[in-house]
Structures are given as C-alpha cells and as structure tokens.
Structure 1
Amino acid sequence: MAATNIQEFVDSNRTKNIDELIALVKQKSISSSGEGMQETVEKVSALLEDIQAKTQVIQTAGHPIVFGEIKGQQEFTVLLYGHYDVMAPDPVDAWVSPPFEPNVRDGRLYGRGVGDNKGQLMAQLLGIKAYLEIHKQLPFHVKFVFEGEEEQGSANLGSFVEQHKDDLLKSDLAISIDGSCHESGAPVLRLGVRGMLYVELEAVSASQDNHSGNTGNIIKNPAWKLVELLSQMQGNDGKVAIKDFYKGVQAPNEQEKAILHQIPYDSETLAAKIGLPNLTLSQEEYFTKLMYEPTLNISGINSGYVDAGAKTVIPSKALLKLDMRLVGKQNPDEIYQNIEKMIEPIEGVSVIKMVSTPPSSTNIDSIFVKPVLAALEQGFGTDPILEPVMPGTLPNYVWTDILNVPVLIVPYANFDQANHAPNENLKLVNFESGIKSTYHIISEISKIIEGGVKQNEYVKGSSI
C-alpha cells in the first residue's frame, strides 16, 4: 500500500531503505585505484531506473558520470549533484569493522563512503521516490548528476558540464548534497565554497644520496632549496607573498557579517575538538578566517633520513606538497602561473599542478534560500543554520560559472561522520532526515515556481 505522507513512507520502508544503502556501501568504488567503479556505476544506474529516471552512463577521460532525468509538470529544472566514488579505506587495521562490510552500531551505519557520499546520494533518491509514491508526479523536472571522481578533485566534471550545458544539463537551480551538518547536529544550508589549488614541488640535486661529510659544501641540499622557496612564499607577518595572491579576495559585507553572528560558536568546544588548548578568536574573526580568507598550507614535506638514530646524508631530492584554499574571485590558474615564475630561477626545482578548483558562491538573496531552509526545518525537525561559505572545497564552480545557475549546498551527514578516516559512519536519523528533507525541498520549491519563474526573479552565476 502506497504511503500518504513522507513520515509514513520513512516508517514503513525503514528496513528496506537501510538494506539498499548497505548494499551500495558494500560495493567498493575507490576512485584512486579504480576498484569496483564499473560495478558501482551499474548499481547507481539501477537505483535511478527504480525511481523512473531516464538514465544514461556518460564516459569521461576518467571515471563515468551517471546521469538521470525525471520529467515533471512545470518547465523548471532542479539538478541534484552527488558522487559515487569513495576514498581508499587505509589504514584498514584502524577500523572496528571492515570498511566494506557495513555494520550498524549504536544508531550509526559504519562503512567507507556511507557518509561521503553514498548515504546522502541514497537519501536524494529515496526522497524523490517518496514524492512520486505520494503525489504520482514531480512538480518540475529533476536531473541527477553523480560523478566518480570527486575524491580525486573532479578532474573531468568541468569539461563534462561545458560539453552538455546547453542541452542535457540545462537547468535553473543546482543542489549539491554533500558535506556535514553543523557540529550541534543542526542542518546547514551553505551558499558558497572555498576553491583550492594543490601543487607538488620537487627539488633535485644529484642522481643519488651522498655522504654529508664527503660532499658537504659541494652538493646543495635540495631540502634547503624548498625551505628557501617557502620563506619567499610567506613573510614573517604570516601573509602570503606569492605575487597577486590576494587579488580577488573580498571581505564580508555587512549582511554577511550579520549572518556570521547567527552561526553557533563555542570557542572552548571547538578548541577541544581540534586539539588546541584554547581558541582566542572572536566569533566574527573565526568565521571570517574560515570563509573569507585564503590559506597557504604545507600538506607534506619529505626528504632525507627521518627514522630512528642518525644517518649523515645529503638527500638527492626533496618533495613538498602545498594546498591553497581560495576565496572570493581568486583565480587558481593565475596563482599557479606566478608560482611557476617564482621557481624559474631556482635550479633543479619543478612544480606540478594537481588540483585547480575556483571558489564559487550564490547570492544570499536568492529566492531559493528560504524554501530550502523551510524544507530542512521540516526534514530535521530543528532550525537550520545558514552559512555563506563552506570552508572546504566542492566543484561548485561548474554550476555557477559554466552552467550559470545558482547552487545550494545541503549536507545530510552528521558532523562526526569521520569521512576520509577509519570508522566512517552515518547516523541513521540523519539518513532518514535526508530522505524527508529531499521530499520537502521538492515541495517547498514547487510553491515558489507555481505560475512560472521569471529569469530576473533569481540570481544566476557567481556574483554576490
């Protein structure tokens, strides 16, 4: 018997829904190695077909994209984005239960990819399935884009969107269902993301390691080359010294500052969670640094001998990895070009660009903000939080800058999901709240587009 409301759908299908999620999580889909990717593409395609979506698998230069579409009543289209790939589970011996043998403990489902992003992907599909069961037809068109390279920087998503922006992907609004809820447990609506530039620098001095006495002062230690380069990249004041690095950085306006003050902030709790003895930043300072200021971070540096005991050696090479979180209208490609110019005079140093993702943002005044906030309140049963910018990075620029539509980030996973780490998990209450939220998002958006939405009634693109 068909459900007559969303809570009835969730209650009557609880075991079935969890079993379907377990089956998806059990299937490996490690994008870094390619293990299980084709099998997962087939599973996700079957799930889309199960909810009446016209489905196709589109090949890219990397892993395929699974696309689906369900026609609705009105000529308005929402595109839902997620990803089916997961991070490698290492270190496997740190897991309480095997990463690809999903296990329910204390109200949570444990398994690699359950939070990031298979549980959230499944919640999208089940929310749509519920709407169709209850109302028989969607109020507008819905498209699905599930990629297989998000964990590797979404290398081919931009070209895919560029190729299909005027036909297959043509939409009016994109919603990215990824990330984590607020640490308080409250749902979050995020309007932007920081971008990222990730580079690898290598310094080479000789074809082999050498004795530090026999060749000291003869061979330049490559580690020193990178240390000296780092000193040129950041000054003693902590400011990044790469040419034009701050070009495009925009401070929060008064409206955005007001929103920052509405985000819950407990410095003692935050300090404890990130392992600091204390956190002295004010609420506005803390969120401004996370959302509106760029970073230059040393992700890793490796050279020479670092094991127990002494070994006097001049290493033959040194490796440095840097990640830069970007904000506003910073251009990662321009910054990379300026890094290339910095290393040109340094003999034996080379650089590789590994990830280049521009920042992205959607207007706070978009007419879609209020209906989605209302949907989250109904789905989670508590007031949602509005965040102007997500401190992390998602490939949202493909929607705002290429497809030219606003994008909203709506995460369903719990804050402590441990994504990318051992014992990744998803609270089952979050899974079900995600199903209900997807249903209510469709319902609430339908209310504001009745009679049609004019082009100038909502903001497209990345301008604020």
Structure 2
Amino acid sequence: MNKGQGDNPVALRDVLAHVAKRQQEYVNRLIDYVSRPSISASGKGVLDVACYIRDRMRDMGLETELIPTAGAPMVLGQWSGSDGPTLLLYGHYDVQPADIADGWVSDPFKPVVRDGRIYGRGTADNKGQHLAQLLAIEAYLSCHERLPCNVKVLLDGEEEIGSPQMPAVVAEHGDLLRADLVVISDGPVDPSGRPMISLGVRGALGFELRATGANAELHSGHWGGVAPDPMWDLVQLLATMKDPRGHVTIDGFYDEVQPLSPAGREALERLEIDVSVMKRDLQFDELAEPRERGVAERRVAWPTLTINGLHGGYGGPGLKSVLPREAVAKCTSGSWKHNVPTTSSPRYAPTWSGTHPTSASPAWGAAWNHPARRSTLPSWNPFAVRSSRHRVRSRCCGPGSVGASPFTSSPRHSASRPSRCRAEMRTSPSTARTRT
C-alpha cells in the first residue's frame, strides 16, 4: 500500500471523522437506495436500479460501466492508480420479493427507522453492505484523493436467483475482474458483534413440484371425492420426502455427506450461539428436529430441504367451495460441499416422464435405484420419491440458478393430461459460493 495512507492511523482517523459528520446523510442515502425495488425474481425495477447505482458510483469517484448479460446487467466500478494490490468487492443490487402480506410491519419498499434499525427490503441483503463499502471509498477519496490500493466493485443483478449469468461474465471478462483479493460482505452481523470471516456457504438447488387435476376449477360440493384433488396429492407427495425426525427420505440425499472432522467439530463448539436468545427474538419455542443437533452443525455440516411456498386454490377472505385445478410447491435444498453434484455428473440430466413405481415396472424398465439409471443423474437428486399415484415430469436445468430468470425465456413442460393428477418437477442447482 502507499506509504502514509493505508498503513497510517492518522489517515484512517481523518476518514472516520469525515464519516461521523455525515452519518445521517449516509442513512438517508441508504433509505433512498432501499426504497427502489429491484426484484430479480420478477425483474421489477432491476434495470432502473442498475443505472441508479452505476450513477451513484460514478459520483463517488469510480469509473463505472454496465456489463450486459443474457439477464440483468452487472455493474462494475473501478479506481486505479495505486502501486498496491487490487481488491475486488462483490455485492448484489437485486433483492428478494417482499410484500406487506408476508408479515412486514411497514411497507418493505418504504424504509423506516425503528429502535435504531432501518427496516426495508435489501437493507441487510445486500444494499446496506455494499453501499457502506462504497461510502467508505467515497470518504477516503474525499480526505486523501487517493486510495491505498486499487479497487474494483462488482454488483450482481441476479444473486437472489442464483447468479445464473456469473459463469459467462467471468469467462468473458476475466481480465477485467482480475484481483489479488475478493471480499464478499453478504451476511448478517454475528450476535456477539465481533467481526466474522465466512470461508464458505451452502450451495442451493431449487425445484418446483406442480400437480394438476381437472382442466378447470371445480365446485367441491359436486366434485369433491370424485375428481382428483391436486392439493391433497401434492401434500401427500411432500410428506414422503421428510420424516418427523427431520430426516430427508429422498434416495441418495445423504450419500456424499461426510462426518465432521474432530478439528471441525471443535471449532463449531467454540462458536457462541445463544439458542434462547434466538428463540426469543424469532418467537418460536423449539428448534426443528433433530433437536439434539447443534445450531452451528446444522448450518454448516448438513444439507437441508425446505418448502419455500405452497400454492393452490383459493386464498382470499372467507370461504370458497373450490376444488383447484393445480397445486404448486416451490422448494430448495441447501447443499453441503460433499453432497452437491460431482464434476463427473452430466451438466444436463435428461428430461423424463413416467409414473413413479413402487417397484420395477415395464414403463421404466428398471428400478429407480438401479445403477444404470443412477449413472445418468447427478450424484443425488430430488426426484427419487416413491409414489404410485403421481404422474411426474422433471427437467434438471444444470448448475447456475435457483430460479428462472425473468430476463430469459424458459419453456414450460408439455405432456398429455393423464386421467389422474400429474406432478411436474423442475430443478436448477447452483454451485456453492465461497466467502472470504
């Protein structure tokens, strides 16, 4: 680093004093940023916010550009001129969907300050973190006109749906993104208040289950118990995927999971996690099963299976005697490094369709767990659920995304409608990401 800047405590004191004088201004700028929706799942506001933060970065003294992709653009800002190392800061300007009906006390896109905290979608994931870094760069340049190292800032527009464009961007713009150190600040502050370095996170694989019955919504008084009920069929299918002890019953789900090493277990046991405070703050009584397993071990050493949403039929006020024509479940699995698809697995598993057998059947030619059949699929898959009542159609979309991008087309599956319910599965695994 340049002598007299990054290694000079006086230089940092000047910057911290500059920041302290502008604290309310910085809060207001974050509120303005968070008030602008940028929902990658639907595309709402994403392009507008990409241009907004690009312009703000330019105002802060960075050279900026939008990197076009097949989806949302990435925003790149740079400052060069130091003989020191190059630092790459990664963040994302997109956010998850949010609605007042989800349990928000206030409008998620009209941020408010309560008890010293800003409540708004994106404040903690991830607009607050990368804006703090950008404001630090701005403050340092205001005080000293130069940074002690070269800095690049890359903001992703589709992180919340798995960063599907990242591999292509890195492949095409690798030289532009070259750096000595990459820092990702995309996570919570530890309850202890101590700085924390995360060396990795679980990857994610998302899939959708879709059960359909009749060709139209029916009156349950006339057709209940006669026509197929997609909601019941889907609920029963989901119930086969996890037992009451929290054990996922999908074939092969745990095949590649390896036990913690003694050193790893010792490190986890040293983490200070106050479960009682956690339950009090989040207002739940007991941990999920298996209750004897520690929180830290759950988070880093075991894969998960979560139902993110269950939709179908009528959800408005009052009652409606309806037999829905369709039911949908959206699910994700958090994957530990030893149970993600291996490099020997095919990038794209074949599309297949058939009735799940309880044993080998002519329609499949071999039992589901036959080695010949397993060799064509990733090392574990969310499809091996035993059910003799469902018509299942699936497509594995390959590594990269936990959700379809609204910026690219994704053809829906087509199949002739059977006389009973059909469940469709679509998956898109994403590789684990590393944080330092």
Instruction: State if a TM-score over 0.5 links the two structures.
Output: yes
* 1:195 maps to 2:190: no
Range moving further from structure 2, 319-328 or 294-303: 294-303
The gaps in structure 1 that reach 5 residues or longer are 360-394, 401-406, 409-464
Residue 263 of structure 2 corresponds to 255
For residues 184 and 224 of structure 1, the distance between their equivalents in structure 2, rounded to whole angstroms, comes to 45
Matched residue type, 1:254: P
- Is the CA contact 2:100–2:107 (under 8 Å) kept in the aligned structure 1? no
Percent identity between matched residues is: 36
Residue 355 of structure 2 corresponds to none
Matched residue type, 2:79: I
Q: Structure 1 212/20 Cα, relative in aligned 2: closer, same or farther at 3 Å?
A: closer
Residue 392 of structure 2 corresponds to 349
Residue 143 of structure 1 corresponds to 152
Task: Output aligned runs, 1:413-428, within 5 Å.
Answer: none
For residues 283 and 11 of structure 1, the distance between their equivalents in structure 2, rounded to whole angstroms, comes to 45
What is the total number of aligned residue pairs between the two structures? 365
Alpha-carbon deviation of 1:289?
1.3
For residues 318 and 118 of structure 2, the distance between their equivalents in structure 1, rounded to whole angstroms, comes to 44
- Is the CA contact 1:222–1:316 (under 8 Å) kept in the aligned structure 2? yes
Q: Structure 1 95/197 Cα, relative in aligned 2: closer, same or farther at 3 Å?
A: closer
Range moving further from structure 2, 152-161 or 271-280: 271-280
The structure that is helix-richer by fraction is: 1
Matched residue type, 2:393: S
- Is the CA contact 1:203–1:225 (under 8 Å) kept in the aligned structure 2? yes
Task: Output aligned runs, 1:202-351, within 5 Å.
Answer: 202-210=210-218, 219-235=227-243, 238-278=246-286, 285-304=294-313, 314-331=323-340, 338-340=381-383, 347-351=390-394
- Is the CA contact 1:99–1:112 (under 8 Å) kept in the aligned structure 2? yes
For residues 35 and 109 of structure 2, the distance between their equivalents in structure 1, rounded to whole angstroms, comes to 5
1:419-452: per-residue Cα shift (whole Å, max 9, x none)? xxxxxxxxxxxxxxxxxxxxxxxxxxxxxxxxxx
The gaps in structure 2 that reach 5 residues or longer are 1-10, 342-346, 348-376, 403-429
1:385-419: per-residue Cα shift (whole Å, max 9, x none)? xxxxxxxxxx8846x5xxxxxx31xxxxxxxxxxx
Alpha-carbon deviation of 1:293?
0.6
- Is the CA contact 1:326–1:358 (under 8 Å) kept in the aligned structure 2? no
- Is the CA contact 2:87–2:181 (under 8 Å) kept in the aligned structure 1? yes
* 1:176 maps to 2:184: yes
Secondary structure of 1:174's aligned partner:
strand
For residues 101 and 296 of structure 1, the distance between their equivalents in structure 2, rounded to whole angstroms, comes to 32
Secondary structure of 1:230's aligned partner:
helix
- Is the CA contact 1:250–1:327 (under 8 Å) kept in the aligned structure 2? no
Range moving further from structure 2, 259-268 or 109-118: 109-118
Residue 57 of structure 1 corresponds to 66
For residues 155 and 112 of structure 1, the distance between their equivalents in structure 2, rounded to whole angstroms, comes to 22
For residues 258 and 26 of structure 2, the distance between their equivalents in structure 1, rounded to whole angstroms, comes to 44
Matched residue type, 2:159: E
For residues 96 and 277 of structure 1, the distance between their equivalents in structure 2, rounded to whole angstroms, comes to 22
* 1:7 maps to 2:50: no
For residues 9 and 229 of structure 1, the distance between their equivalents in structure 2, rounded to whole angstroms, comes to 59
1:62-88: per-residue Cα shift (whole Å, max 9, x none)? 221101122253463321011122334
For residues 308 and 173 of structure 1, the distance between their equivalents in structure 2, rounded to whole angstroms, comes to 53
For residues 262 and 341 of structure 1, the distance between their equivalents in structure 2, rounded to whole angstroms, comes to 38
- Is the CA contact 2:40–2:95 (under 8 Å) kept in the aligned structure 1? yes
Alpha-carbon deviation of 1:106?
4.2
Task: Output aligned runs, 1:76-87, within 5 Å.
Answer: 76-87=85-96
Q: Structure 1 273/4 Cα, relative in aligned 2: closer, same or farther at 3 Å?
A: closer
Range moving further from structure 2, 18-27 or 285-294: 18-27
* 1:162 maps to 2:171: yes
Alpha-carbon deviation of 1:196?
1.3
Q: Structure 1 346/159 Cα, relative in aligned 2: closer, same or farther at 3 Å?
A: farther
- Is the CA contact 1:72–1:139 (under 8 Å) kept in the aligned structure 2? no
For residues 245 and 102 of structure 2, the distance between their equivalents in structure 1, rounded to whole angstroms, comes to 42
Range moving further from structure 2, 16-25 or 49-58: 16-25
1:157-177: per-residue Cα shift (whole Å, max 9, x none)? 333223323x11122322111
Q: Structure 1 162/248 Cα, relative in aligned 2: closer, same or farther at 3 Å?
A: farther
Matched residue type, 2:195: P
With CA pairs under 8 Å and 6+ residues apart, which has the higher RCO, 1 or 2? 1
Residue 77 of structure 2 corresponds to 68
Q: Structure 1 272/344 Cα, relative in aligned 2: closer, same or farther at 3 Å?
A: closer
Alpha-carbon deviation of 1:10?
1.5
Matched residue type, 1:296: L
Secondary structure of 1:5's aligned partner:
helix
1:354-406: per-residue Cα shift (whole Å, max 9, x none)? 996699xxxxxxxxxxxxxxxxxxxxxxxxxxxxxxxxxxx8846x5xxxxxx
Residue 41 of structure 1 corresponds to 50
For residues 25 and 138 of structure 1, the distance between their equivalents in structure 2, rounded to whole angstroms, comes to 27
For residues 176 and 116 of structure 1, the distance between their equivalents in structure 2, rounded to whole angstroms, comes to 12
- Is the CA contact 1:194–1:358 (under 8 Å) kept in the aligned structure 2? no
Matched residue type, 2:188: S
RMSD value over aligned CA atoms?
Answer: 3.9
